[in-house]
Structures are given as structure tokens and as C-alpha cells.
Structure 1
Amino acid sequence: MNEKINWRPGCDLAVLHLRARLMRALRAFMDQRNILEVETPLLIRAANYDLNVQNILCQDESADPRPLALHSSPELFMKRLLAAGTGPIWQLCKVFRKGEQGSYHNPEFTMLEWYRPGMDVQGIADESLALFQHIRESLGFAPLPVHRISYREAFETVTGINPHHADAKTLAFWASKHELNVHQPESLDRDQWLDLIMNERVQTRFDANAYTVISEFPASQAALACIRNDEYGTPVAERIEIYQGALELANGYYELTDPAEQRARFEYAAQQRRQNGQPELVVDARFLAALEHGLPDCAGLSVGIDRLLMTLTGETDIRRVLAFDFERL
């Protein structure tokens, strides 16, 4: 009977060796730049501020009324370390996101995250690209060319629509006209339409043999990033994403340091969660206290390590680069 149970890993053993070499190259890169490696808790007491991410809740026998969950990012703890004066830091950890399962997603995955005081978002984008090229060279792969384009330019090239000014109705009409049909389209807001069109029609045109850096996101998608005016006077988020083909590898911000603005964004996220019927947002008071103390001007960036490994192996399914994916638990 046991012979019929699939106990084997989901990836080839050669992929495990390649992953180990990738990790060695990554650590060498960070060591060369004197960036401090840190560890922070996997368990959190504050719900996620990102409306697109759901935490995996844990059973908790303590008297603390706040829910306990597995983190979806080490960001807030790492910023508390920055406020304490660590200087540049990086972390490699497992993160967890409920319901994320598919060719590019697994509920548990490996994330690299690092922060650079005194650096802007373009600087950390450049450092991320240098890391990717270093890893490729260390593992015997040729470097890739880099394309840089703003969110506005990428979106307008495909749709003819300015994403910073279009309303939900305009975006929904374009999507319907181009056979992007969704269940209950009236339930989607402007940002959800932007995400849908970007994911299904814009990113799919990115060069599979190059890194594409997208910058100047809509201000409504700033999350924990600063907002500034672009060359047209339009507010944009100081945020970047890096892709190889349609696969997102990295997401970086010039980090928000204003505690009042951060609290306002948390309160807005809490309101949206209530309207969407999502679990209540517990504001992270310790994180806000760290901002009050003073978070240095800095940029931060996260990388999906499993996806990066996919680009090196040529695999198109994340399960083929994991020893044991969610279905093998």
C-alpha cells in the first residue's frame, strides 16, 4: 500500500544542488557589500495591511486578544531593526500567504528582503539587478540585458489608456472589448482592473530573455512607499518591480518614513478590509512607535527566490523547483 503513496520530492535532485549554489552566491554578494544578515519572527500579531494578501492564522492559547498568524513578509520587523540603528540589513526567510497556489505561487515560499539606508528606489533596483547578474555568472549563465520603462508607458503602449487618470468604468470597457471577462465585474475597483490588465495583457509582452524594470506605479498602489510627482505632475508611487518575461521577480520601494501618513494608510486599509468582509486589521503599534522614533530614509526590496530559480532552470511551474510543494505535505 505504501508503494502507491507519492512520497518523493517534486523537483529533480539537480535542482536542489542548483538552489544550494544560488544561496551561496547570494550570501557572497551580501557579504561583499557588508550588509548585515538578520532573522526576525515568523509569527506576527498584526494582520496584513496588503488587501491582496491573506495571512494564514494560527491557533493561540495565550491570553493576548490579537490574532496570531504566520508572516507574509518580514518587512515591519526589519524596519524596527532599521529604526534601532542596524544600518543596511538583509534576510532570507520562509513567508506564507493563504490561498496562493498555482504555476507561480505556493502558500509557503522563500523570500529575500533587504534594506539600504541612504539609497533611493532606483539605487536598490540597480543593486538587485547586480545581484541577479552575479548569481547568473556564479552559476555559469550569461548576463541578461535590462529594459527600463514606466508603468504609464508600459500600460499606454498596450491599451492606449493613461493608467493614472482612467477610472474603473474606462478600464472595464477596455477589458471587455479585449476579451478579459471576469465574474461579477461590477465588484472590481480601479486598482483591481489595473492589476488585471497589467497581469493579463501588459506583462505577457515583456521580453523573456531580459530583465524589465517597471517604475512610477499609480499612487493608489503605493503600499508602504513614498509618493512624488512624475515629469507630468502626476502623483506616482516610488516603487519598482522587476520581471523576466511575465514572471515578477522583485518588488522594491523608497520607504515611507512619515508615521502620520503611515497610520492614515493603515486606517484606510482597515476600512477597505471591513468593506470587503476580510479579517479586521490590527494596527501594529510597535511598528508605528518605531516610525515615531525615526526610520532612516531608505529603500527596500524583496525577491522571490523560488521564481528566480525557475528562470535559471527553465521550469514554468514553481512546484518543479520545490522539494515539497503544498500538495506534497
Structure 2
Amino acid sequence: MIPSWQPSCSLELIHLRAKLLHEIRSFFYAQNVLEVETPILCQAVGTDPYLEFFSTSQLPDNQDSLYLQTSPEFAMKRLLAANTGSIYQITKAFRKSESGRYHNPEFSMLEWYRLNFNLQQLMDDVELLFSHILPAKFFSEKAQRICYVDVFHQYTGLNALQFERRKYQTAAVRLGFPEAEEVCGDNHTTWLDFLFSHIVQQHLGIAGICMVYEYPACLPSLARLNLENPLVTERVEVFIQGIELGNGYYELTDMQQQKKRFDQEIKLRQKIGAEKVSADERFLAALHSGLPDCSGIAIGLDRILMIISETDKIDDVLAFPIKNA
């Protein structure tokens, strides 16, 4: 049999992707934000306990494996520490075992960093970019901005900052997810991720753009803690029609605090049996040298195309999704 060779998506969508990339580059050029390029194949990878990654087999002249990047974040921050100024990148990223309606193991990402921007200014920036690349119907009113604690309580009735397992379990049963108890156990972070993704997220951005900010401190990633309320972090996620499009931070610049987070994540990876990794020492050295005050965000471009083209699954906007690659 002759294998299927034709692209999975229409030629119209291939042209639409090219138009989207042009509009993004035009936006950042006008804003004097520098386009950069960083390696996809690197010697270190992130420590997030719940991200699986692709690695090479051992190379003859290299004692260690190399990794396909799950994000260009560490490399871009090394450039920021080298005084590039505000930067952006359109690149490919790779995450193992991610395949489904909104996931392909290889996907396109837009990531950018603005010097001297706080989280509110970053959200302004997101809204401005989206006004250039999304249909006008998403801007009948300003983007909704709501803090995590408020939206979590609105749809679950729970306090996201105060973990009481019995209350969380009761709420999960009431909301139709009795299996949450077995999945989440005593882990507050896992409870928040489970309840947010299964109960809250579907309600976000139904009429337009929704930005959820100030995540609980147990979900910090690479964001700094809020100075006025250390129980929350300076983190934001962007949603349209219940689809998560982006994740951004007022960036943590403290090397010691970042190293401590890496160590905690590495221990958790060991506990849950995830593949062993080491902290990215080059990234930590860049933080030690001095990361300028900045905010940054990563946006999934394939999901943006789904929104623009009103398609139902990510395969519809990819020329060659994994099943046809």
C-alpha cells in the first residue's frame, strides 16, 4: 500500500498559519522587541515533575543524553542576562505523552519577555497582541481578569489557599468527581490542578479573553512570590472558550530561591518515579549573574489557530500531526 503523504489540514489553514506568523512578527517589530533563536536540542531540561520529555540516545563524544526542549525559557533567560533587551521567539517545543484534542507531542510556541514589565503590564501586552491576531468578536468588551482564588471558589466553593482534604473530597464528590480522592491523596497541588482542569477551566473565556492571575504559592513554577501576599505568586494563565492558551510570570530572579524550587521538583520526580533529571546549571549561573527585572509568557500557536479557524481539534490545524508525520 502507498502510505498517505498529503497534509492533514487544508491549504487554507497552511496559509492562515503563515498570516498569523507574519502578524506576530510585525507586532513585535513595531514594539522594538528582538526576535531570537535558541537551540531545540540541549544538554539540560526542565525539572517540572509532571512533564515528560524526549531525549537522545547516548552520543559517542558526549557522556550524557541530549534533550528536546519542552520550552525555550531557560535559554531565552540566558540571553536576557546577557543584556539583549526585550525578546521574543517562535519555535517548536516537545512534550512526550501529550497527544489528544489540544495536544500534539511537537507543537509551535510563541514566547516573549518584556524588560521592566510587571504582571499587569504583561496582561496588557497579551491583550494588545491578541487584538492584532484574533477576530474582532473576541473584543466586544475588555478581557476578563480574575484572581485564581476568586474563580476557584466561584466554581468549587473551596478556598484554594487553605487545604482541608475532607472539604476538597466532599466538593469533588458533589461536583461529580469521586475519583479525585484516589488521584490526589494528600497533595494540595494535585488537588488544585485536578479541580481547576476538570471543573473551573471549562467556564473561562466563553465570551472572550479571560486571564487568571495570582496563583497559589504551591503552584509557583518560575514566578516570583507576591510581595504583598506571599501566599500567591505573580503568575497568569490565558483562556479562550475554556482552552488554555498561555502561561506567564513576573519572573523570579533570585538564583537561590530558584535552585531550591528545582531541588524540590527533583525530589518529587524521584518520589513519583519520573525520569531522573538535573538542574540546568547554565540557567542558574545566568540568574546568579543577574536576570533583569522582566515578565514573560508562552502562548500555544496551534491552539490560537484552532480559535481563529473555529476548528475542533489540534490535528485540524497541523500539516502533519504525529499520526501523519
Give the partner amino acid of 2:280: D
Unaligned runs of 5+ in 2: none
Change in CA separation of 1:323 and 1:141 when aligned onto 2, cut-off 3 Å = farther
SS of the equivalent of 1:300 reads: strand
**How far did residue 160 of structure 1 move?**
1.4
Distance of 1:53 and 1:228 partners within structure 2: 25
**How far did residue 181 of structure 1 move?**
3.7
TM-score, reference length from structure 1: 0.93
Counterpart of 2:250 in structure 1 is 254
Aligned with residue 119 of structure 1, among 95, 117, 122? 117
Counterpart of 1:289 in structure 2 is 285
Aligned with residue 70 of structure 1, among 68, 71, 75? 68
**How far did residue 141 of structure 1 move?**
6.3
Aligned with residue 155 of structure 2, among 158, 182, 188? 158
**How far did residue 280 of structure 1 move?**
1.5
**How far did residue 65 of structure 1 move?**
3.4
Change in CA separation of 1:62 and 1:223 when aligned onto 2, cut-off 3 Å = farther
SS of the equivalent of 2:17 reads: helix
Q: Write the deviation string for residues 78-97 of structure 1: whole angstroms up to 9, x where unpaired.
A: 00000000000000000000
Alignment check: 8 A CA contact 1:164 1:234 kept: no
Change in CA separation of 1:194 and 1:131 when aligned onto 2, cut-off 3 Å = same
Aligned with residue 18 of structure 2, among 15, 20, 27? 20
The aligned runs of 1:290-309 (5 Å cut-off) are 290-309=286-305
The aligned runs of 1:1-329 (5 Å cut-off) are 1-2=1-2, 5-136=3-134, 143-145=139-141, 146-182=143-179, 184-185=182-183, 187=185, 189-228=187-226, 233=229, 235-329=231-325
Give the partner amino acid of 1:158: Y
Cα RMSD (Å) = 1.7
Distance of 1:113 and 1:47 partners within structure 2: 17
Distance of 1:69 and 1:238 partners within structure 2: 29
Runs of 4+ in 1 over 6 A off after TM superposition: none
Change in CA separation of 1:218 and 1:310 when aligned onto 2, cut-off 3 Å = same
SS of the equivalent of 2:245 reads: strand
Change in CA separation of 1:70 and 1:169 when aligned onto 2, cut-off 3 Å = farther
**How far did residue 69 of structure 1 move?**
1.0
Alignment check: 8 A CA contact 2:235 2:248 kept: yes
Unaligned runs of 5+ in 1: none
SS of the equivalent of 2:218 reads: helix
Distance of 1:16 and 1:50 partners within structure 2: 33
SS of the equivalent of 2:277 reads: coil
- Matched residues, percent identical? 38
TM-score, reference length from structure 2: 0.94
* Residue correspondences, number: 323
